[in-house]
């Protein structure tokens, strides 16, 4: 099976695909929404701390397990736990796999909103005003149409395989998104009310940073944003040749992802304050009005205020967001697909359609019971399942793998002292830190 495995052609291909997985709606929708709901600067501060102390090491552990095993997450974790209990490892992998399906079932709904907003701008451009309004207004019908379209798009790419599908798509479009973000930030900062938003975003209220709700949201957001705890990064790690310098790659992915989230905040939070300044009700009791969907009203208004070029910008922006969502969807879908192909001998094509059908089922369920299930899925995934999986990865890497000797492997550390310290940090500090946060979640829930 190993000889027939597809793989990334280069380290840069891996970094870009992994960054493509990490950079998505979590950065541009999730991060600013969470930051706006949790005091702006305080959230940003805690987010950066959690990313550095926990999410980055967890990403390392996840990629490392996959890279060493060169297998799908279920088998990779099974291998890593072999000396202790292979079955336990495989169960860990299956839990991640369920997380990936859970993620896909709400993510594809939000991604569908992006597509419909892009089409709304296009229809406005060509004069189909009624259609444009319909596309920009949230409704169950709209979800019922655009979620399946998005799932189909993802399936179409993923069944082509790793480098023709994933690597090619992930490497091309991110620079354009970045440029667009910069342009929009410059524009928004010149609008009345924006500077107030900038202050809220950049100046932390330190009395807030110990608020457990805030810490939990920041942790969930950081794990979600880096795509960790569901096996997506593990499976990408497995598609790269075994590498001794994983640290550098993981650092680049984290820097790219965090940079984009920071920039998105720099755009969206001032945009919210601009809208508030113009008389809209944006906040109520320090919370965003309208369940996080508000951003999708504020952004089109921002584009409309730009005059005739606004529609072109809107089209480009929402199309790029759809693509960013697609590259994230692909990595999540790859987790169950790789498992079915490698462990169950299902063809890639069949596996892709099977997984897409399961995702379609769950997303339809979420649409049918949107008010009850949508927020609950996000919360359970990001604040329970992902942190728990990451805790498991730390324990596997630090304690179970070769009875904990894996990280002390001399060939791995090639004599560098800081790598010994890094190993000890993963072994001793990370599991404790994560447990402390996790116990807080349990108490709060
Ligand atoms: N990191 C993605 C985002 O921020 O939008 C979401 C994600 C992708 C989570 C892939 C998990 C995953 F496996």
Q: Is residue 126 domain-resident?
A: yes
Q: Is residue 273 domain-resident?
A: yes
ipTM of the complex: 0.99
DSSP secondary structure string for all residues of 275-302: HHHTT---EETTEESSTT-THHHHHHHH
pLDDT at position 404, please?
Answer: 61
Please tell me if the CB atom of residue 29 comes closer than 6 angstroms to any atom of ligand 1.
Answer: no
pLDDT at position 3, please?
Answer: 43
Q: Alpha-carbon distance 1 to 437, whole Å?
A: 40
Q: Is residue 4 domain-resident?
A: no
- Tell me how far the alpha carbon of residue 113 lies from the centroid of ligand 1, in angstroms: 17
Q: Is residue 42 domain-resident?
A: yes
Please tell me if the CB atom of residue 224 comes closer than 6 angstroms to any atom of ligand 1.
Answer: yes
Q: Is residue 1 domain-resident?
A: no
Provide the number of structural domains found in the chain. Answer: 1
Q: Alpha-carbon distance 312 to 125, whole Å?
A: 8
Please tell me if the CB atom of residue 26 comes closer than 6 angstroms to any atom of ligand 1.
Answer: yes
- Tell me how far the alpha carbon of residue 243 lies from the centroid of ligand 1, in angstroms: 23
Instruction: Spell out where 59-202 has E strands.
Output: none
CATH code where residue 310 lies: 1.20.1740.10
Q: Which domain holds residue 287?
A: 11-444
Neighbouring residues of 65: CB distance < 8 A, sequence distance ≥ 6: 73, 76, 77, 80, 234, 237, 393, 396, 397
Q: Alpha-carbon distance 34 to 211, whole Å?
A: 14
Token pair for 174:
């991110």
- Tell me how far the alpha carbon of residue 374 lies from the centroid of ligand 1, in angstroms: 16
Q: What are residue 287's DSSP bridge partners?
A: 284
**Closest among 349, 49, 326, 340 to 174, alpha carbons compared:** 326
Taking a C-beta distance cutoff of 8 angstroms, is the pair 20, 321 a contact? no
pLDDT at position 158, please?
Answer: 78
Q: Is residue 288 domain-resident?
A: yes
Q: Is residue 162 domain-resident?
A: yes
Taking a C-beta distance cutoff of 8 angstroms, is the pair 234, 70 a contact? no
Q: Is residue 6 domain-resident?
A: no
pLDDT tens for the 445 residues of the chain, in order = 444 577 777 888 788 889 989 999 999 989 999 999 898 999 999 999 999 999 999 999 999 999 999 999 999 999 999 989 999 999 999 999 999 999 999 999 999 999 999 999 999 999 999 999 999 998 999 999 999 999 998 888 877 766 665 566 666 677 788 888 999 999 999 999 999 999 999 999 888 888 888 988 899 999 999 999 999 999 999 999 887 788 899 999 999 999 999 999 999 999 999 988 888 888 888 788 876 667 777 888 888 888 878 898 889 889 888 988 988 998 999 999 999 999 999 998 999 999 999 999 999 999 999 999 999 999 999 989 999 999 999 999 999 987 666 665 655 555 567 777 888 899 999 999 999 887 876 776 6
Neighbouring residues of 70: CB distance < 8 A, sequence distance ≥ 6: 2, 5, 76, 238, 242
């Amino acid at each position: 099976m190993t000889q027939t495995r597809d793989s990334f052609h280069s380290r840069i291909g891996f970094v870009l695909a992994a960054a493509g997985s990490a950079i998505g709606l979590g950065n541009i929708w999730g991060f600013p929404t969470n930051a706006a709901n949790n005091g702006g600067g305080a959230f940003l501060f805690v987010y950066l701390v959690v990313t550095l102390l926990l999410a980055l090491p967890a990403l390392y552990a996840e990629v490392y397990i996959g890279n060493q095993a060169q297998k799908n997450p279920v088998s990779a974790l099974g291998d890593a736990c072999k000396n202790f209990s292979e079955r336990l490892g495989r169960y860990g992998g299956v839990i991640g796999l369920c997380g990936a399906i859970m993620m896909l079932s709400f993510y594809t709904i939000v991604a569908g909103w992006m597509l419909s907003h892009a089409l709304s701008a296009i229809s406005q451009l060509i004069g189909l005003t009624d259609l444009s309004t319909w596309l920009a207004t949230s409704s169950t019908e709209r979800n019922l149409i655009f979620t399946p379209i998005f799932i189909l798009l993802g399936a179409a790419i993923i069944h082509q395989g790793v480098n023709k599908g994933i690597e090619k798509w992930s490497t091309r479009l991110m620079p354009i998104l970045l440029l667009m973000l910069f342009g929009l930030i410059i524009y928004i900062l010149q609008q009345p009310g924006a500077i107030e938003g900038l202050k809220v975003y950049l100046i932390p209220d330190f009395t807030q940073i110990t608020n457990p709700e805030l810490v939990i949201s920041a942790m969930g957001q950081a794990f979600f944003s880096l795509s960790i705890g569901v096996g997506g990064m593990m499976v990408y790690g497995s598609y790269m040749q075994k590498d001794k310098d994983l640290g550098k790659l993981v650092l680049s992915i984290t820097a790219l992802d965090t940079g984009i989230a920071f920039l998105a905040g720099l755009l969206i939070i001032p945009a919210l304050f601009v809208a508030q300044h113009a008389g809209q009700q944006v906040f109520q009791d320090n919370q965003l009005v309208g369940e996080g969907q508000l951003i999708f009203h504020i952004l089109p208004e921002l584009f409309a205020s730009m005059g005739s070029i606004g529609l072109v910008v809107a089209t480009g922006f929402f199309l790029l967001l759809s693509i960013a969502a697609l590259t994230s969807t692909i990595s999540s879908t790859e987790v169950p697909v790789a498992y079915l192909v490698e462990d169950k001998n299902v063809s890639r094509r069949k596996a892709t359609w099977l997984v897409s059908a399961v995702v379609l089922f769950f997303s339809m369920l979420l649409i049918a019971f949107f008010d009850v299930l949508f927020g609950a899925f996000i919360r359970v995934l990001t604040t329970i399942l992902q942190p728990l999986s990451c805790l498991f990865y730390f324990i596997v890497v630090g304690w179970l793998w070769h009875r904990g000797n894996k990280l002390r492997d001399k060939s791995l550390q090639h004599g560098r002292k800081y790598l010994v310290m890094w190993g000890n940090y993963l072994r001793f500090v990370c599991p404790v830190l994560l447990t402390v946060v996790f116990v807080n979640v349990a108490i709060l829930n």
